[in-house]
């Protein structure tokens, strides 16, 4: 029987699976809930269902987020979670678990030991053959950039756990790095800021909603949002209007640090590549690219055009899906490794 081919992205925030002919067939939070004794735990819920249980679980239920800061931190839980996700995309009438070949997006710059963890997770999930490609390269493919040409472009992927940056050329990375700045870190910073300024304790979900709905890098943005929580002094329910200026004060330093890292990557490129970057600009993807004003702030800081896209969170998995159907490009990428 021919192997089933899939593309997989295991992110800090979400896991996605792409199936040829069907596109993205799964995108769910990278969260799993176990029930029972830790030595004999059973799967209780995965993905969106498990995420809804955060902060609401009884004593014998444990919620696990097996990816943190962009890399797998709990390989056992991650393997179980990925297998459960794969089961979700299989036909209802399947009898045996099929032989699966996968293209897997991984963080840029993993060492051999870290790559082995991803291989072990895939094996535990029932994937018999895995080809690992850097997320940042897959992002470039998902953007339809000519990554196999000289000076294929600069891509910045601001994810939930980390930010990956690379200058791409001839199907490889000329200069690249990962920065431990991501959306989760910013959400926690917003939560702490609201507690400090408004004496209001809010949850991480509310902090994320504030950032997503009124987040801005414009220091004169007048948007605001009424949020509820617990007053840290009286312990009673309270509320406050949080402003876009508040969010800017919290998150803008993180974005400026990312811009500094991008500048460092560009400075390490050969002059010919820098010339191409000046012509083509920089593409910013990932969930963190959705914030208002990022193109202007990065452009002013870096002196080149900066572009965002309509669906920035899907670039990696779409790029991996495209590689499933382009064995020639896949071969050229693998030669560079």
Which CATH number fits the domain that encloses residue 256?
3.30.420.40
Q: Are residues 225 and 242 in the same domain?
A: yes
pLDDT at 93: 67
Listed in sequence order, the residues at least 6 apart from 106 whose beta carbon sits closer than 8 Å to its beta carbon are 115, 118, 132, 133, 134, 135
Q: Are residues 160 and 132 in the same domain?
A: no
Residue 59 covered by a domain = no
Q: Are residues 160 and 301 in the same domain?
A: yes
Question: From the DSSP assignment, how many helices (H) and strands (E) are in the chain?
Answer: 11, 18
User: Does residue 1 register a pLDDT over 70?
Assistant: no
Question: Edge-to-edge, what's the strand order for the sheet holding 32-35?
Answer: 42-46, 32-35, 61-64
Angle at 207 between CA 164 and CA 285, to 5 degrees: 25
pLDDT tens for each residue of 280-307? 999 999 999 999 999 999 999 999 999 9
- How far is Cα 180 from Cα 158, in angstroms, rounded to an integer? 10
Q: Are residues 167 and 249 in the same domain?
A: yes
Percentage of the chain exceeding pLDDT 70: 99
Average pLDDT over residues 61-81: 94
Average pLDDT over residues 63-67: 95
Q: Are residues 169 and 288 in the same domain?
A: yes
Residue 324 covered by a domain = yes
pLDDT at 69: 87
Q: Are residues 88 and 157 in the same domain?
A: no
The pTM of this model reads 0.93
Q: Are residues 251 and 206 in the same domain?
A: yes
Residue 242 covered by a domain = yes
pLDDT at 337: 67
CA atoms within 13 A on the CB side of 35: 8
pLDDT at 97: 82
Residue 259 covered by a domain = yes
Q: Are residues 294 and 324 in the same domain?
A: no
pLDDT tens for each residue of 94-142? 777 889 999 999 998 889 999 999 999 999 999 999 999 999 999 999 9
Q: Are residues 131 and 157 in the same domain?
A: no
User: Does residue 55 register a pLDDT over 90?
Assistant: no
Q: Are residues 297 and 173 in the same domain?
A: yes
- How far is Cα 147 from Cα 171, in angstroms, rounded to an integer? 5
Average pLDDT over residues 58-70: 88
State both tokens at 118.
Answer: 């991803």
Q: Are residues 117 and 248 in the same domain?
A: no
CA 165 to chain centroid:
13
Q: What are phi and psi of 111, to 5 degrees?
A: -85, 175
Residue 201 covered by a domain = yes
In order of 207, 210, 231, 258, the CA distances from 226 in angstroms are: 12, 9, 14, 29
Q: Are residues 76 and 152 in the same domain?
A: no
Q: What are phi and psi of 305, to 5 degrees?
A: -70, 140
Which of 214, 3, 202 has its CA nearest to residue 96?
A: 3
Residue 46 covered by a domain = no
Residue 98 covered by a domain = yes
- Which residue is associated with the tokens 């809804």? 52
Q: Are strands 61-64 and 42-46 parallel, antiparallel or unpaired?
A: unpaired
SS3 at position 105: strand
pLDDT at 102: 97
- How far is Cα 103 from Cα 82, in angstroms, rounded to an integer? 14
- H-state helical runs in the chain: 47-51, 75-89, 112-124, 135-142, 183-198, 204-214, 244-267, 271-280, 294-302, 315-324, 327-335
User: Does residue 80 register a pLDDT over 90?
Assistant: yes
Residue 126 covered by a domain = yes
Q: Write out the DSSP string of 188-232.
A: HHHHHHHHHHH-EE--HHHHHHHHHHH-BS-TT---EEEEEEEET
Q: How confident is the model at residue 251 (pLDDT cuts 50, 70, 90)?
A: very high
Let me know: does 262 contact 154? Beta carbons within 8 Å: yes
Q: How many domains does the chain have?
A: 2
Q: Which domain holds residue 70?
A: 4-30+65-138+318-335
Average pLDDT over residues 189-197: 97
Average pLDDT of the residues of the chain? 94
């Amino acid at each position: 029987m021919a192997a089933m081919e899939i593309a997989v992205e295991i992110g800090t925030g979400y896991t996605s699976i792409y199936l040829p002919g069907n596109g993205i067939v799964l995108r769910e939070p990278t969260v799993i809930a176990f029930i029972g004794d830790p030595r004999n735990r059973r799967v209780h819920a995965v993905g969106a269902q498990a995420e809804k249980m955060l902060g609401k679980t009884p004593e014998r239920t444990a919620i696990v987020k097996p990816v943190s800061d962009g890399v797998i931190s709990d390989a056992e839980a991650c393997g179980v979670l990925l297998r459960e996700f794969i089961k979700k995309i299989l036909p209802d009438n399947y009898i045996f678990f099929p032989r699966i070949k996968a293209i897997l997006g991984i963080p840029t710059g993993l060492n051999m030991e870290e790559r082995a963890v991803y291989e072990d997770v895939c094996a535990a999930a029932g994937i018999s053959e895995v080809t690992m490609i850097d997320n940042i390269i897959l992002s470039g493919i998902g953007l339809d950039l000519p990554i196999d040409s000289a000076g294929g472009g600069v891509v910045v992927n601001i994810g939930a756990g980390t930010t990956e940056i690379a200058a791409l050329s001839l199907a490889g990375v000329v200069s690249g790095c990962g920065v431990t700045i991501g959306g989760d870190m910013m959400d926690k910073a917003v939560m702490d800021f609201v507690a400090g300024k408004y004496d209001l304790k809010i949850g991480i979900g509310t902090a994320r909603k504030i950032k997503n709905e009124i987040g801005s890098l414009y220091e004169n943005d007048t948007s605001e949002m009424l949020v509820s929580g617990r007053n840290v002094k009286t312990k009673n329910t309270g509320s406050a209007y949080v402003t876009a200026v508040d969010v800017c004060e919290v998150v803008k330093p993180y974005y400026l640090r990312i811009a500094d890292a991008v500048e460092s990557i560009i400075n390490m490129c050969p002059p010919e590549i820098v010339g191409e970057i000046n012509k083509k600009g920089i593409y910013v993807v990932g969930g963190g690219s959705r914030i208002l004003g990022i193109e202007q702030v990065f452009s002013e800081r870096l002196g080149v055009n900066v572009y965002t896209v309509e669906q920035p969170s899907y670039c990696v998995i779409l790029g991996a899906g495209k590689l499933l159907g382009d064995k020639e490009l896949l071969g050229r990428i693998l030669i560079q490794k």
